[in-house]
Amino acid sequence: MKESVRFVVNGDPVEVLVEPGATLLECLRQDLGLTGSKQGCDKGDCGACTVLLDGRAVLACLVLARSVEGRRVTTVEGLAEAGRLHPLQEAFDTQGAAQCGFCTPGMLMSACALIEENDQPSRQDVREALSGNLCRCTGYTKILDAVVKAAGEVHQARAAPKGGGKP
Amino acid sequence: MTGRRPVGPAGPGPGSGEGAAFSVIGKRNRKVDGRRKVTGQSIFTDDLQPARLLHGKILRSPHAHARIRSIDTRRAAAHPGVHAVITGRDLPVAYGIIPWTRDEYPLAIDKVLYVGDGVAAVAADDERTAEAALALIEIDYQVLPAVLTVEDALAHPENQVNTFSAKGNVSKQVRLTFGDVEGGLAGAEVVVEDTWFHAGSTHAAIEPHCAVGDLGADGILTVHSSTQVPHYLHRELSRVLELPIDRIRVIQPAVGGGFGGKSEPFDLEFAVAKLSCLTGRPVKILYTREEVFAAHRGRHPMLMTYQVGARRDGMLTAVKARILIDGGAHSSFGLVTTYYSGQLLGAPYRLPAYEFDSTRVFTNKPSCGPKRGHGSVQPRFAFECALDMLAERVALDPIELRRRNVLGADTRTVNEFRVTSNGFLECLAGVERASGWKEKFRQLPFGRGVGVAGSTYISGTNYPIYPNEMPQSAVQLKVDRSGRVTVFAGVSDIGQGCDSVLAYIVAEELGVALDSIRVVTADTDLTPVDLGAYSSRITFMAGNAAIAACAGVKRRIQDAMAQAWSVPPGQVRLADGFATAPGTPSHAVPIAEAFQAAEARFGTLGGVGSYNTPKDVHGSYRGATIGASPAYSFSAHVAEVEVDDQTGQVRVKKIWVAHDCGRALNPMLVEGQMEGSAAMGFGEALFEEQPYDERGLHRGPSLLDYPLATTLDTPELESIIVESGDREGPYGAKEAGEGPLHPSIPAIANAIHDAVGVRLTRLPFLPPRVLAALETRRQAGLSWKGRR
Amino acid sequence: MLPLPPIRYLAPKRLRDALELLEQGGRGRTAPDGDGAQRRGPVLPIAGGTDLVPNLKHRLLDVELLVDLTRIEEPHLRGVREVAGHLHVGALTSLAAAAADPLLRQRHPTLAGAYRQIGSPQLRNMGTVGGNLCLDTRCTYFNQTAFWRAALGHCLKRKGTTCHVVPGARGCVAACSSDGAALLTALGAEARVEGVAGDRWIPVESLLQSEGRRHLALLPGELVTELRVPAAPPGRRAAYEKLRMREAIDFPVLSVAAVADLAPGGACRSLRVVVSALSARPRVVTGLGDLVEGRPLDDAALERVAAQAYRQCHPLANMTADPAWRRAMVPVLVRRALRRAMEAR
Ligand SMILES: Cc1cc2nc3c(=O)[nH]c(=O)nc-3n(C[C@H](O)[C@H](O)[C@H](O)COP(=O)(O)OP(=O)(O)OC[C@H]3O[C@@H](n4cnc5c(N)ncnc54)[C@H](O)[C@@H]3O)c2cc1C
Ligand code: SF4
Ligand code: FES
Ligand code: FES
């Protein structure tokens, strides 16, 4: 029997009817049509399904949809604001960090959680923060480049006086 | 950190801008699909959710080898929410990617050949219902002895794994001799001989295979699939479903990584097609990760014995190889694999005499097939380790030994392949310099070391999988009066970026801004045939086709503007969104206006171009065509490692990767291929293995037990692009997607030797193996770098 | 996809309600539901779900109702506090929060460090300290899909009659794979166990049992609500060594926790060495007192301890990593842990 769950996804309040055994990943992809979050293993091993739950990176394939009642979920679809790419997205694109792009949404969300906390990460910090996201295409080099670059931009924007710089 | 060190002027190659500066080519441009990928907008097969979608599941064999006595699907069919159930009898046509070895059925008919072999499929309202229905299918199996090792397979031909096989369990045997091998070995002053084992590996793309079949009311069956060979899938669907090929449309959405793992048809594609035909509704099947391991088609385990003879000065005299290949249950590409295991060793060194004897056998395990560096990664591992041993024996620096034996450009290999451009020497020099080799080799303290290895790979196979004289690749252009160009091509972008490469080429040729190019690919209704994403063929072949397609359009635009400006057509330049006549500043119009002028004069603009390979690039002996390519890439790596002599754990600190890709049409994409390849080779060297138990059960079919290296394990990678400029490649380009995987493994093996003095011959280099080798050394009382 | 089995789900806000639901389930009684329907079946607590959800997807256990603990509001289940010199860590504290907690990092940096080595960042954000301690035992023949286990033949742990690791064994020897468990045992930590009937503190060492099927000494319906790590005396030296394939994600294939207390002069007052990822229960290496107490922990002492651990620890084929190699690694890790402990502070 389906039950209702209400939460906020990418800023929008939603109410969805789900099976109690549905995961957040199923709910996002199938019920809400937010297919940006990917499924690579469905059991916690790959990180492709990473989303932010109240700002923290979690694996949507291991989260019960019912358990996000009242909480805030951010997916890759929520990263760009008003059609403007997030600095991470821009950097992934210009640095060639997305090859097949299947790990990319999860990578972006893990990187986003990192940058929210620390916008001056070392390369090692980035490696740590992305260590739960497997990529089979890139060898990670360009992903690390992109995150370091984006963090630098976010840091500058934050340091800049109000009104100046990019968001 | 990446460096780009072009050597000399890149050769001409087809394509405009000879000598002139390029506007698009060679620049770090975005990918055409990049912004969709970083926003989650790219649509992968599992993202498709058509209305009335049914979900399918495949029932799989729990036995490695068994006869199917009976299947009863009645209870499953009667289960609420189930719409159709099929078994092997519903699809009784054998198929196989190679037309000479059609030895598999979409679903098993009489016999299952490995754990995970599909036997029946269900379409239901949702996945849970489909899964519940599978449990209701009753199968009576008669379990047969499972053949799990190469030795067992050869010793017991009566336990035949694949009944299509003409000869017991032998899938293919190739023996070829070039030159006086016995004389070369007898005359050698040093002969290195050893046996190496590559355990095989699997692609493990992060996207699991997925397909959606949809029979429309118009009788057209559309199959969306995460395939990297839409054209071959199209043909096989038509054969197996016994539907006219013009009634079938294959579309490849975005693919989440392939690496060869999606380069032949799989049971799910036939199943969704059939189930949709039966139900009249769209049907989707998405593999679980465990099913991806069963589908496999990964790197073959190979047991390889090499004898390498040389003179005291390090010059090779002869090479002799004997190779046993574990093929799994089906042929897959195995005929080609067996040839490749020997044929692709002919470069980058000059082999005066060469012989290989390769035998592929069937076993009751998931079928092996092509994985990135198909057929040649394993021999390359063995051979480059042998060269390292040889260098040690003749007391030469291993880079110097390689340098002395370099094959060179514009020549033929011992097995008669035509080699055009060759930047191998520059690759060696590049990694030698960048890695600080001279200060490191044999000079780092015990436990740390560097190793080198080289390699070569094909830029496409010279012949298609099924014999035909038609082009291997074609491109069609729609040139619009708005200034937009749409490129139609059959190519498969699986992340390597070929859609973007076509856009770069067309933008360069027609002077259009990149944003004005649309690329439509891999849709058999809309796009001209390309054979698919395998053997690193697309940049070379589709790239040339794109240049050819642009030529006529470009000429018409130039003619139209030449007339308008009263200048010779050759003076009209199309670049950066403008048509200009350099030297006359007033002669400059936005490209759209030039298109309009041409359209007004010549009618609707469009163009087609195609590419086919030259036919004089190989010998005439039987098998001479397999492994022949219009051009070869070259690579050299240096790896630096740290070995923990207490635990046996190896850490690779860094790999310097030099690769001759002919010309980098976009250095960012080339580096991406180099880094991804080197990292994949690194994983094979240290982590990846697929053990099967005595019943043929994969010991860990998951991404937890099959460990893909994480960010914390993967070494730092430094790319050094070498541009030798191939005269037949588009702008001089060759391949970059597979070659740079090869040297990773032997470079790491050789670095481990430099670090601690042990030669590892069995992959992967797991800590227990490293430790055991160290122990053997210790017991022999040998010291290394002053340490016992 | 690996769908979860049909379940019901409740997320009570009060500990009492959670305990009642669990207690009724534990006794096989009817678990009440909002619709008042009468259902029967196992009731399980779920915290971060990072262990339970994959296990349910693999159909490793039966469940009718999941009781989500993460909405429980009682404060003692969350965060790190100091009470009478001891550190209390709420069972629902996430591994990430524990690893980053200033108090924990100051008082027991090794424990914070061990938590930081668990899984991946996402798993540490989700996984809890309580769930980590209660983590089900793991085995290469068991932590597989339903299809895989059926193909192999079921084992003692569920539905079967034999053990694939130790044929003929009467018990299950699946491995304790929790990075927290070994170190908590070595630190002499205690767990607060609450049930409808009451509340008790038991040493982690006795909470963890040697039978892989019931590796926790919990009564049906009981929960671990907090941990108490006793104050570290001056002269405390501790270290945790984890052996694994990859630098992230992977469970330990062997782990060693060492906790030494030194007298002001450097002589060893007490030493606890715990080796884990062997079978269901972390192994406390015995007989160390005679080997080291009253003497400095010098190289010779390290060797004695390492040899003692080697004699007592026998890794099994319950994971794919070679047991002979893992055994050979016991003394290596013990030495490293002790060296690292002696270097710390
Ligand atoms: C890919 C992967 C890698 C991992 N790597 C590691 C690793 O390296 N090291 C490691 O230690 N763990 C690892 N884990 C396991 C797990 O993530 C952590 O141990 C985590 O802390 C478990 O906590 P949880 O809250 O998610 O537990 P849950 O899954 O919620 O619960 C685990 C078990 O404990 C029970 N339980 C939960 N809370 C309580 C309580 N308060 N009282 C009584 N019973 C309770 C549950 O019923 C369940 O049986 C890994 C998991 C995955 C999927
Ligand atoms: S140790 Fe034996 S009984 Fe326990 S899970 Fe493994 S195989 Fe089953
Ligand atoms: S899909 Fe969630 S971790 Fe792989
Ligand atoms: S880009 Fe393909 S998996 Fe990361």
Is residue C249 very low, low, confident or very high in pLDDT (cuts 50, 70, 90)? very high
Mutate to test the pocket of ligand 2, among C144, C149, C164 (most ligand atoms within 8 A of CB): C164
Is B4's pLDDT higher than 50? no
Of ligand 2's listed atoms, the one at least distance from the Cα of C139 is 6
pLDDT at position B586 is: 93
Question: What are the tens digits of pLDDT across the range B282-326?
Answer: 999 999 999 999 999 999 999 999 999 999 999 999 999 999 999
Instruction: Give how far Cα B559 sits from Cα of B516, B550, B563, B598, B741, Å.
Output: 22, 14, 6, 8, 46
Question: What are the tens digits of pLDDT across the range C279-300?
Answer: 999 999 999 999 999 999 999 9
| Across B234-257, average pLDDT | 98
Is C27's pLDDT higher than 90? no
| Residue C8 amino acid letter | R
What is the percentage of chain C residues whose pLDDT exceeds 90?
93
Is residue A165 very low, low, confident or very high in pLDDT (cuts 50, 70, 90)? very low
In whole angstroms, give the CA distance from residue B150 to residue B134.
Answer: 33
Is B399's pLDDT higher than 60? yes
Domain coordinates in residue numbering, chain B:
470-611
pLDDT at position B1 is: 37
Q: What share of chain B is helix, strand, coil (3-state, %, to 5)?
A: 30, 25, 45
pLDDT at position B10 is: 45
Counting ligands in written order, which one lies closest to the CA of residue A46?
3
Is C301's pLDDT higher than 80? yes
Of ligand 4's listed atoms, the one at least distance from the Cα of A137 is 2
Counting ligands in written order, which one lies closest to the CA of residue B256?
4
CATH code reported for the domain at C80-136+174-229 = 3.30.465.10
Question: What are the tens digits of pLDDT across the range C52-62?
Answer: 999 999 999 99
pLDDT at position A162 is: 64
Neighbour tally for A153: CB within 10 Å: 18
| Across B447-458, average pLDDT | 98
The interaxial angle of helices C109-116 and C179-186, nearest 10 deg, is: 170
Instruction: Give how far Cα C167 sits from Cα of B716, C4, C155, Å.
Output: 45, 31, 10
Counting ligands in written order, which one lies closest to the CA of residue A57?
3
pTM of the model: 0.97
Is B678's pLDDT higher than 90? yes
Instruction: Give how far Cα A80 sits from Cα of A76, A84, A90, B15, B674, Å.
Output: 8, 5, 10, 38, 30
- The nearest alpha carbon in chain A to C117 belongs to A128
Is residue C344 very low, low, confident or very high in pLDDT (cuts 50, 70, 90)? confident
Contact A92 B38 (CB under 8 A): yes
The interaxial angle of helices B377-393 and B744-756, nearest 10 deg, is: 30
pLDDT at position B491 is: 97
Is A163's pLDDT higher than 90? no
State whether residue B163 is helix, strand or coil.
coil
What is the percentage of chain C residues whose pLDDT exceeds 70?
95
Ligand 3, atom 3, residue with closest C-alpha: A44
Is B21's pLDDT higher than 90? no
Contact B695 C152 (CB under 8 A): yes
pLDDT at position B315 is: 98
Six token digits for residue C197? 């009937």
Is B7's pLDDT higher than 70? no
Ligand 1, atom 1, residue with closest C-alpha: A45
| Across C305-321, average pLDDT | 97
Smallest Cα–Cα separation from B472: which of B531, B528, B550?
A: B531
Contact B700 C245 (CB under 8 A): no
In whole angstroms, give the CA distance from residue B762 to residue B196.
Answer: 6
Q: Which residues of chain B does A103 touch, with a Cβ-Cβ cutoff of 8 Å?
A: 206, 256
| Across C316-343, average pLDDT | 97
Query: E-strand spans in chain C?
Result: 8-10, 43-46, 65-68, 80-83, 86-90, 190-195, 198-203, 223-229, 236-243, 254-262, 268-276, 283-284
- The distance of Cα A111 from the centroid of its chain, to the nearest Å, equals 7
Contact C122 A19 (CB under 8 A): no
Is residue C39 very low, low, confident or very high in pLDDT (cuts 50, 70, 90)? low
In sequence order, the β-bridge partners of residue B756 are: none
In whole angstroms, give the CA distance from residue B488 to residue B476.
Answer: 5
Is A149's pLDDT higher than 70? yes
Question: What are the tens digits of pLDDT across the range C137-177?
Answer: 999 999 999 999 999 999 999 999 999 999 999 999 999 99
Is B730's pLDDT higher than 80? yes
Mutate to test the pocket of ligand 3, among A39, A109, A130, A134 (most ligand atoms within 8 A of CB): A39
Least CB–CB distance from A131: residue in B256, B496, B712: B712
pLDDT at position B8 is: 40
- Alpha-carbon radius of gyration of chain A: 16
User: Is-contact C110 C291, C-beta < 8 A?
Assistant: no
Interface of A with C (CB under 8 A): 3, 19-23, 26, 39, 42-45, 47, 50, 53, 56-59, 61-64, 66-67, 69, 110, 113, 128-129, 131-133
Looking at domain C8-69, which CATH architecture does it have?
A: 2-Layer Sandwich (3.30)
- The distance of Cα B571 from the centroid of its chain, to the nearest Å, equals 42
Is residue B378 very low, low, confident or very high in pLDDT (cuts 50, 70, 90)? very high
Question: What are the tens digits of pLDDT across the range B126-144?
Answer: 999 999 999 999 999 999 9
Neighbour tally for B585: CB within 10 Å: 8
Mutate to test the pocket of ligand 2, among C136, C140, C155 (most ligand atoms within 8 A of CB): C155
Classify residue B679 by burial, with Cβ atoms within 10 Å: 0-12, 13-18, 19+: buried
Domain coordinates in residue numbering, chain C:
8-69, 80-136+174-229, 236-343
- The nearest alpha carbon in chain A to C123 belongs to A58
Is residue A164 very low, low, confident or very high in pLDDT (cuts 50, 70, 90)? very low
What structural domains does chain A harbor? Answer: 3-78 (3.10.20.30), 87-161 (1.10.150.120)
Q: Left if phi > 0, otherwise alpha if psi is -120 to 50, otherwise beta: which for B624? A: alpha
Is B12's pLDDT higher than 80? no
C236-343: what CATH class? Answer: alpha beta
| Across B555-562, average pLDDT | 98
Confirm or reject: Cβ of A156 under 6 Å from ligand 3. Answer: no
ipTM tops 0.90: yes
pLDDT at position A83 is: 87
Is B557's pLDDT higher than 60? yes
CA atoms within 13 A on the CB side of C290: 4
Classify residue C196 by burial, with Cβ atoms within 10 Å: 0-12, 13-18, 19+: middle
| Across C68-88, average pLDDT | 97
In whole angstroms, give the CA distance from residue C330 to residue C311.
Answer: 9
In whole angstroms, give the CA distance from residue B568 to residue C261.
Answer: 92
As a whole number of Å, the end-to-end CA separation of chain B is 37
Question: What are the tens digits of pLDDT across the range B182-226?
Answer: 999 999 999 999 999 999 999 999 999 999 999 999 999 999 999
Six token digits for residue B615? 């036919």
pLDDT at position B20 is: 60
Q: Which residues of chain B does C122 touch, with a Cβ-Cβ cutoff of 8 Å?
A: none
Of ligand 3's listed atoms, the one at least distance from the Cα of A38 is 1
pLDDT at position C28 is: 56
Is B5's pLDDT higher than 50? no
| Across C307-333, average pLDDT | 98
- The distance of Cα B247 from the centroid of its chain, to the nearest Å, equals 30
Looking at domain B470-611, which CATH architecture does it have?
A: 2-Layer Sandwich (3.30)
Q: Left if phi > 0, otherwise alpha if psi is -120 to 50, otherwise beta: which for B488? A: beta
Of ligand 1's listed atoms, the one at least distance from the Cα of A43 is 53
Q: Which residue has the tokens 């249950």?
A: B329
Q: Decide the pairing of beta strands A72-74 and A50-53.
A: antiparallel
Neighbour tally for B410: CB within 10 Å: 10
pLDDT at position B13 is: 67
